[in-house]
Amino acid sequence: MRHLWDNSKSLLLTTWWMRIALVLWCGMAVAVPVLFFMQQIAFDILVLFGFLFVPILLAFYGLHKMLSNIRRGVVFSVQNTADLRLVSWACFFAAVFLLIASIRWPILIFASGVIGFLGLFVRVIKNMLTEAIDIKEENDFTI
C-alpha cells in the first residue's frame, strides 16, 4: 500500500510553514513601529518587541539551516547540533526578556515559561543528536 504522506512532503510543509511564520514576523517588524508612530501602541510594547525580534529571528535562521541540511540528506551533523544550540539559546533569551516584561504585564510570565520550556526541549533534542552522532561515528570506525 502506498502512503499518501511521506517524509519529503512533511519536510516541504515544515519549510513552508516556517517561511510563512518568518514573513509574518518580519511583517510585524514593520507594523509595530508604524503602529507606535500612529500612537496605536505604547512605547514599552515597541521596546519589548525590539528585544524579542533578534532572538526569534536567530531561531528562524537556525531552523532554516537545519531544514536545508535535512533536505540535502545531512541529518547527523555537528552543524545541526550547533543550529539546535542556537535555537535553544534564542528561546532562553526570549524567555528572559518576557520574564522581565512580566513585571509590567504579569500575563507574560506564562509566555516566558512556555518559551523557556521550549528552549529546554530543544536542548534535550540537541543532546540526543550529539549522542547519536557519537554513536554513528563509533559505528563507522567499527569493522
Q: What is the pLDDT of residue 143?
A: 62
Domain boundaries, the chain: 7-141
Q: What is the pLDDT along the chain (143 residues), one digit of tens a residue?
A: 567 888 888 999 999 999 999 999 999 988 888 888 888 778 888 888 889 999 999 999 999 999 999 999 999 999 999 999 999 999 999 999 999 999 999 999 999 999 999 999 999 999 999 999 999 888 887 76
CA distances for 12 relative to 15, 50, 68, 106, 124, angstroms = 5, 30, 11, 38, 25
Euclidean distance between CA atoms 128 and 92, whole angstroms: 19
Q: What is the pLDDT of residue 115?
A: 97
Q: What is the pLDDT of residue 54?
A: 93
